Protein backbone atom coordinates (compact mmCIF):
# COMPACT_ATOMS: atom_id res chain seq x y z
CA UNK A 1 0.00 0.00 0.00
CA UNK A 2 1.08 3.57 -0.58
CA UNK A 3 1.90 5.12 2.77
CA UNK A 4 2.45 8.85 2.66
CA UNK A 5 5.18 9.93 5.07
CA UNK A 6 5.68 13.28 3.42
CA UNK A 7 4.72 15.04 0.23
CA UNK A 8 7.14 13.06 -1.91
CA UNK A 9 7.60 9.81 0.02
CA UNK A 10 5.85 6.46 -0.16
CA UNK A 11 6.21 2.83 0.71
CA UNK A 12 4.63 -0.10 -1.11
CA UNK A 13 3.12 -2.91 0.94
CA UNK A 14 2.55 -6.24 -0.75
CA UNK A 15 -1.01 -6.65 0.60
CA UNK A 16 -2.76 -3.28 0.54
CA UNK A 17 -5.58 -2.83 3.04
CA UNK A 18 -8.54 -0.87 1.70
CA UNK A 19 -9.47 0.93 4.90
CA UNK A 20 -5.84 1.76 5.70
CA UNK A 21 -5.35 3.19 2.21
CA UNK A 22 -8.48 5.31 2.51
CA UNK A 23 -7.22 6.62 5.85
CA UNK A 24 -3.88 7.55 4.29
CA UNK A 25 -5.40 9.56 1.45
CA UNK A 26 -8.11 11.11 3.66
CA UNK A 27 -11.04 9.49 1.86
CA UNK A 28 -13.97 9.02 4.25
CA UNK A 29 -16.69 7.02 2.52
CA UNK A 30 -20.29 7.37 3.59
CA UNK A 31 -21.99 4.22 4.78
CA UNK A 32 -23.64 3.64 1.40
CA UNK A 33 -20.18 3.81 -0.19
CA UNK A 34 -18.69 1.51 2.43
CA UNK A 35 -21.38 -1.03 1.54
CA UNK A 36 -20.03 -1.09 -2.01
CA UNK A 37 -16.36 -1.05 -0.98
CA UNK A 38 -16.78 -3.85 1.56
CA UNK A 39 -18.84 -6.13 -0.64
CA UNK A 40 -17.23 -9.48 -1.49
CA UNK A 41 -19.47 -9.96 -4.53
CA UNK A 42 -17.69 -10.54 -7.81
CA UNK A 43 -20.19 -8.37 -9.67
CA UNK A 44 -21.39 -5.15 -8.06
CA UNK A 45 -24.03 -2.78 -9.45
CA UNK A 46 -24.09 0.68 -7.89
CA UNK A 47 -26.84 3.00 -9.15
CA UNK A 48 -26.71 6.54 -7.80
CA UNK A 49 -28.12 9.94 -8.68
CA UNK A 50 -26.05 12.55 -10.46
CA UNK A 51 -23.26 14.40 -8.66
CA UNK A 52 -23.38 11.99 -5.71
CA UNK A 53 -19.76 10.82 -5.72
CA UNK A 54 -20.17 7.52 -7.58
CA UNK A 55 -17.25 8.07 -9.98
CA UNK A 56 -15.12 9.44 -7.15
CA UNK A 57 -15.64 6.33 -5.01
CA UNK A 58 -15.11 4.10 -8.06
CA UNK A 59 -11.73 5.72 -8.64
CA UNK A 60 -10.73 4.91 -5.06
CA UNK A 61 -11.77 1.30 -5.66
CA UNK A 62 -9.60 1.25 -8.79
CA UNK A 63 -6.61 2.62 -6.89
CA UNK A 64 -6.78 -0.19 -4.33
CA UNK A 65 -6.86 -2.68 -7.22
CA UNK A 66 -3.84 -1.00 -8.83
CA UNK A 67 -1.87 -1.26 -5.60
CA UNK A 68 -2.26 -5.03 -5.72
CA UNK A 69 0.88 -6.24 -7.56
CA UNK A 70 0.61 -7.42 -11.17
CA UNK A 71 -3.07 -6.68 -11.67
CA UNK A 72 -4.64 -5.62 -14.96
CA UNK A 73 -7.78 -3.47 -15.13
CA UNK A 74 -9.95 -1.39 -17.45
CA UNK A 75 -12.10 1.66 -16.87
CA UNK A 76 -14.79 1.74 -19.56
CA UNK A 77 -17.58 4.22 -20.32
CA UNK A 78 -19.78 5.03 -23.34
CA UNK A 79 -17.20 7.62 -24.41
CA UNK A 80 -13.63 8.41 -23.47
CA UNK A 81 -14.82 11.75 -22.10
CA UNK A 82 -16.97 9.93 -19.54
CA UNK A 83 -14.35 7.31 -18.75
CA UNK A 84 -11.72 9.99 -18.20
CA UNK A 85 -13.48 11.19 -15.02
CA UNK A 86 -12.21 8.16 -13.14
CA UNK A 87 -8.93 8.12 -15.04
CA UNK A 88 -8.32 11.74 -14.14
CA UNK A 89 -8.94 11.03 -10.45
CA UNK A 90 -6.39 8.19 -10.50
CA UNK A 91 -3.85 10.33 -12.34
CA UNK A 92 -4.23 13.31 -10.03
CA UNK A 93 -4.33 11.31 -6.81
CA UNK A 94 -2.16 8.23 -7.21
CA UNK A 95 0.39 9.48 -9.74
CA UNK A 96 0.68 13.23 -9.14
CA UNK A 97 -0.24 13.74 -5.48
CA UNK A 98 1.19 10.54 -4.01
CA UNK A 99 3.80 10.01 -6.72
CA UNK A 100 3.30 6.29 -7.08
CA UNK A 101 5.97 5.46 -9.71
CA UNK A 102 5.03 4.42 -13.21
CA UNK A 103 7.14 2.41 -15.63
CA UNK A 104 5.25 3.84 -18.58
CA UNK A 105 2.13 5.92 -19.09
CA UNK A 106 0.10 7.80 -21.67
CA UNK A 107 -1.30 11.11 -20.47
CA UNK A 108 -2.61 13.80 -22.83
CA UNK A 109 -3.71 17.18 -21.45
CA UNK A 110 -4.04 15.69 -17.98
CA UNK A 111 -6.19 12.79 -19.19
CA UNK A 112 -4.91 9.32 -18.42
CA UNK A 113 -5.13 6.72 -21.18
CA UNK A 114 -2.79 4.05 -19.82
CA UNK A 115 -0.33 3.46 -17.02
CA UNK A 116 1.94 0.63 -15.92
CA UNK A 117 3.16 0.98 -12.36
CA UNK A 118 6.29 -0.06 -10.51
CA UNK A 119 4.49 -3.04 -8.97
CA UNK A 120 3.61 -4.45 -12.39
CA UNK A 121 -0.06 -3.39 -12.33
CA UNK A 122 -1.65 -1.84 -15.41
CA UNK A 123 -4.74 0.28 -16.04
CA UNK A 124 -6.37 1.33 -19.31
CA UNK A 125 -9.05 3.99 -19.76
CA UNK A 126 -11.29 3.04 -22.67
CA UNK A 127 -14.38 4.02 -24.66
CA UNK A 128 -17.10 1.51 -25.51
CA UNK A 129 -17.96 3.49 -28.64
CA UNK A 130 -15.94 1.24 -30.99
CA UNK A 131 -15.78 -2.10 -29.18
CA UNK A 132 -14.28 -4.05 -32.11
CA UNK A 133 -11.10 -2.02 -31.83
CA UNK A 134 -11.08 -0.43 -28.38
CA UNK A 135 -12.23 -3.35 -26.22
CA UNK A 136 -9.65 -5.90 -27.35
CA UNK A 137 -6.94 -7.14 -25.03
CA UNK A 138 -5.79 -9.71 -22.50
CA UNK A 139 -7.75 -11.03 -19.54
CA UNK A 140 -8.57 -8.65 -16.69
CA UNK A 141 -8.44 -8.81 -12.91
CA UNK A 142 -10.90 -5.97 -12.54
CA UNK A 143 -13.26 -3.85 -14.60
CA UNK A 144 -15.13 -0.63 -13.80
CA UNK A 145 -17.92 0.41 -16.17
CA UNK A 146 -18.99 4.02 -15.62
CA UNK A 147 -22.42 5.20 -16.83
CA UNK A 148 -22.97 1.57 -17.72
CA UNK A 149 -26.71 1.98 -18.34
CA UNK A 150 -25.91 3.93 -21.53
CA UNK A 151 -23.68 1.17 -22.90
CA UNK A 152 -25.23 -1.37 -25.22
CA UNK A 153 -26.03 -4.69 -23.57
CA UNK A 154 -24.08 -6.54 -26.28
CA UNK A 155 -20.90 -4.65 -25.33
CA UNK A 156 -21.08 -6.19 -21.86
CA UNK A 157 -22.03 -9.66 -23.04
CA UNK A 158 -19.73 -9.99 -26.06
CA UNK A 159 -16.73 -7.81 -25.26
CA UNK A 160 -16.43 -7.05 -21.54
CA UNK A 161 -17.74 -10.12 -19.72
CA UNK A 162 -15.33 -12.52 -21.53
CA UNK A 163 -12.29 -10.48 -20.42
CA UNK A 164 -12.98 -11.47 -16.81
CA UNK A 165 -13.04 -15.22 -17.37
CA UNK A 166 -9.35 -16.18 -17.56
CA UNK A 167 -8.34 -14.41 -14.34
CA UNK A 168 -11.72 -14.62 -12.58
CA UNK A 169 -11.84 -10.83 -12.49
CA UNK A 170 -14.47 -8.66 -10.80
CA UNK A 171 -16.67 -5.94 -12.27
CA UNK A 172 -18.16 -2.79 -10.77
CA UNK A 173 -21.04 -1.21 -12.68
CA UNK A 174 -21.57 2.47 -11.86
CA UNK A 175 -24.42 4.47 -13.33
CA UNK A 176 -27.18 6.98 -12.91
CA UNK A 177 -30.62 5.36 -13.20
CA UNK A 178 -31.92 5.02 -16.76
CA UNK A 179 -35.19 3.15 -16.37
CA UNK A 180 -35.89 -0.53 -16.90
CA UNK A 181 -33.04 -1.57 -19.17
CA UNK A 182 -30.38 -4.31 -19.14
CA UNK A 183 -28.57 -2.71 -16.17
CA UNK A 184 -31.78 -2.82 -14.18
CA UNK A 185 -31.89 -6.55 -14.91
CA UNK A 186 -28.37 -6.87 -13.48
CA UNK A 187 -29.42 -4.76 -10.51
CA UNK A 188 -32.23 -7.25 -9.91
CA UNK A 189 -29.65 -10.04 -9.82
CA UNK A 190 -27.92 -8.25 -6.99
CA UNK A 191 -31.18 -8.23 -5.05
CA UNK A 192 -31.82 -11.96 -5.55
CA UNK A 193 -30.48 -14.91 -3.58
CA UNK A 194 -30.38 -16.83 -6.86
CA UNK A 195 -27.25 -14.91 -7.94
CA UNK A 196 -24.74 -15.20 -5.07
CA UNK A 197 -21.94 -13.56 -7.09
CA UNK A 198 -23.99 -10.37 -7.52
CA UNK A 199 -24.82 -7.49 -5.16
CA UNK A 200 -26.49 -4.18 -5.94
CA UNK A 201 -27.38 -0.82 -4.38
CA UNK A 202 -29.43 2.22 -5.33
CA UNK A 203 -29.64 5.65 -3.70
CA UNK A 204 -30.41 9.22 -4.68
CA UNK A 205 -28.15 12.25 -5.02
CA UNK A 206 -29.70 14.05 -2.06
CA UNK A 207 -28.54 11.35 0.38
CA UNK A 208 -24.89 12.04 -0.41
CA UNK A 209 -22.70 14.78 1.03
CA UNK A 210 -20.98 14.97 -2.36
CA UNK A 211 -24.13 16.48 -3.82
CA UNK A 212 -23.50 20.18 -3.26
CA UNK A 213 -25.98 21.87 -5.59
CA UNK A 214 -28.41 24.24 -3.96
CA UNK A 215 -32.00 25.07 -4.76
CA UNK A 216 -31.18 28.35 -6.50
CA UNK A 217 -28.75 26.63 -8.88
CA UNK A 218 -31.09 23.74 -9.59
CA UNK A 219 -33.97 26.14 -10.27
CA UNK A 220 -32.30 27.04 -13.58
CA UNK A 221 -32.31 23.45 -14.83
CA UNK A 222 -34.93 22.72 -17.56
CA UNK A 223 -36.61 19.99 -15.53
CA UNK A 224 -36.97 22.33 -12.54
CA UNK A 225 -38.52 25.09 -14.65
CA UNK A 226 -41.41 22.76 -15.42
CA UNK A 227 -42.85 23.30 -11.95
CA UNK A 228 -43.42 26.71 -10.39
CA UNK A 229 -43.59 25.02 -6.96
CA UNK A 230 -39.96 23.93 -7.15
CA UNK A 231 -38.10 24.94 -3.99
CA UNK A 232 -41.25 25.72 -1.99
CA UNK A 233 -41.05 22.43 -0.06
CA UNK A 234 -44.71 21.69 -0.68
CA UNK A 235 -44.36 18.96 -3.32
CA UNK A 236 -43.40 15.30 -3.34
CA UNK A 237 -41.68 14.74 -6.65
CA UNK A 238 -41.91 11.75 -8.99
CA UNK A 239 -42.66 8.43 -7.34
CA UNK A 240 -43.04 4.89 -8.66
CA UNK A 241 -43.84 1.41 -7.44
CA UNK A 242 -42.03 -1.52 -9.01
CA UNK A 243 -43.98 -4.77 -8.82
CA UNK A 244 -42.31 -8.13 -9.40
CA UNK A 245 -43.68 -9.80 -12.54
CA UNK A 246 -45.36 -12.63 -10.63
CA UNK A 247 -47.48 -10.12 -8.69
CA UNK A 248 -48.44 -7.83 -11.58
CA UNK A 249 -52.10 -7.51 -12.46
CA UNK A 250 -53.28 -8.24 -8.93
CA UNK A 251 -53.93 -4.62 -7.92
CA UNK A 252 -50.86 -4.24 -5.72
CA UNK A 253 -49.64 -1.08 -7.49
CA UNK A 254 -53.02 0.63 -7.02
CA UNK A 255 -53.10 -0.39 -3.39
CA UNK A 256 -49.61 0.98 -2.75
CA UNK A 257 -50.53 4.20 -4.55
CA UNK A 258 -53.60 4.67 -2.32
CA UNK A 259 -51.50 4.08 0.79
CA UNK A 260 -48.87 6.54 -0.44
CA UNK A 261 -51.41 9.26 -1.24
CA UNK A 262 -53.16 8.73 2.09
CA UNK A 263 -49.84 9.16 3.85
CA UNK A 264 -49.04 12.32 1.83
CA UNK A 265 -52.45 13.90 2.49
CA UNK A 266 -51.80 13.73 6.23
CA UNK A 267 -48.67 15.89 5.86
CA UNK A 268 -49.92 19.46 6.27
CA UNK A 269 -46.94 20.98 4.51
CA UNK A 270 -47.42 18.81 1.40
CA UNK A 271 -49.93 20.18 -1.12
CA UNK A 272 -48.91 18.39 -4.31
CA UNK A 273 -47.62 15.09 -5.61
CA UNK A 274 -46.11 14.84 -9.09
CA UNK A 275 -45.32 11.98 -11.40
CA UNK A 276 -44.53 11.18 -15.01
CA UNK A 277 -46.40 8.67 -17.14
CA UNK A 278 -46.86 7.85 -20.80
CA UNK A 279 -49.04 10.42 -22.55
CA UNK A 280 -52.72 9.87 -21.86
CA UNK A 281 -52.34 7.74 -18.74
CA UNK A 282 -53.07 10.60 -16.31
CA UNK A 283 -56.50 10.96 -17.94
CA UNK A 284 -57.41 7.72 -16.16
CA UNK A 285 -56.59 9.16 -12.72
CA UNK A 286 -59.16 10.62 -10.36
CA UNK A 287 -58.51 13.75 -8.35
CA UNK A 288 -57.41 17.30 -9.11
CA UNK A 289 -54.85 16.55 -11.85
CA UNK A 290 -53.07 19.04 -14.11
CA UNK A 291 -50.39 18.43 -16.74
CA UNK A 292 -47.14 20.31 -16.02
CA UNK A 293 -45.46 19.44 -19.31
CA UNK A 294 -45.39 16.92 -22.15
CA UNK A 295 -42.06 15.68 -23.49
CA UNK A 296 -41.46 13.89 -26.79
CA UNK A 297 -38.83 11.14 -26.96
CA UNK A 298 -38.47 11.07 -23.17
CA UNK A 299 -34.91 10.07 -22.10
CA UNK A 300 -34.26 8.81 -25.63
CA UNK A 301 -36.91 6.07 -25.32
CA UNK A 302 -38.85 7.22 -28.37
CA UNK A 303 -41.96 7.52 -26.18
CA UNK A 304 -43.90 10.63 -25.20
CA UNK A 305 -44.39 11.28 -21.50
CA UNK A 306 -46.39 13.77 -19.50
CA UNK A 307 -45.48 15.23 -16.14
CA UNK A 308 -48.56 15.72 -14.00
CA UNK A 309 -49.34 17.43 -10.71
CA UNK A 310 -51.94 16.15 -8.26
CA UNK A 311 -53.37 18.65 -5.74
CA UNK A 312 -53.88 16.39 -2.74
CA UNK A 313 -55.34 19.16 -0.56
CA UNK A 314 -57.92 20.22 -3.13
CA UNK A 315 -61.53 20.34 -1.96
CA UNK A 316 -62.94 20.56 -5.48
CA UNK A 317 -65.01 17.65 -6.82
CA UNK A 318 -63.07 14.71 -8.25
CA UNK A 319 -62.06 15.26 -11.83
CA UNK A 320 -61.38 12.67 -14.48
CA UNK A 321 -60.36 12.62 -18.15
CA UNK A 322 -58.37 15.16 -20.16
CA UNK A 323 -56.51 17.03 -17.37
CA UNK A 324 -55.57 20.57 -18.48
CA UNK A 325 -52.06 21.66 -19.40
CA UNK A 326 -50.76 24.31 -17.03
CA UNK A 327 -49.84 27.59 -18.73
CA UNK A 328 -46.59 28.93 -17.38
CA UNK A 329 -45.15 32.41 -17.79
**pLDDT tens profile 142-155:** 999 999 998 999 99
Backbone φ and ψ for 51, nearest 5 degrees, come out as 60, 35
Residues 176, 155 share a domain: yes
Q: How far apart are CA 250 and CA 244, in angstroms?
A: 11
More confident of the two residues 186 and 243: 186
Quick one: pLDDT band at residue 7, thresholds 50, 70, 90? very low
61, 122, 147, 306: which one is catalytic? 147
What does pTM read for this prediction?
A: 0.63
- The helix/strand/coil state of 254 is helix
Does 175 lie in the same domain as 224? Answer: no
Q: Is 197 a catalytic residue?
A: no
The domain tally of the chain equals 2
Determine the structural domain holding residue 280 and report its residue range.
Answer: 215-311
Residues 197 and 64 in one domain: yes
State the pLDDT confidence band at 44, using cuts at 50, 70 and 90: very high
3 occurs within a structural domain: no
CB burial readout 70-96, b (16+ within 10 A) else e: ebbbbbbbbebebbbbbbbbbbebbbe
β-pair partners for 104: 116
Residues 229 and 186 in one domain: no
Report the distance separating Cα 277 and Cα 291, nearest Å. Answer: 11
Residue of 126, 183, 188, 125 whose CA lies nearest to 150: 183
Looking at the structure, do residues 233 and 85 belong to the same domain, yes or no? no
Amino acid sequence: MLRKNGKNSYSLLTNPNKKAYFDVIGYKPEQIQWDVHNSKARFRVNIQGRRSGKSYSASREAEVAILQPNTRGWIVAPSYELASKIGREIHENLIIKYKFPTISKKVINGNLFYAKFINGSEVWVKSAGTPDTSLVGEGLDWLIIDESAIINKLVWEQYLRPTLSDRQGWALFVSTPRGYNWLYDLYQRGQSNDYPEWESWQHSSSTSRYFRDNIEELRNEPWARMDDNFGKRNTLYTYAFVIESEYKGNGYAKMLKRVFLSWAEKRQQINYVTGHVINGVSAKFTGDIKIVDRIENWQGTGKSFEYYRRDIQSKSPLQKNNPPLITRT
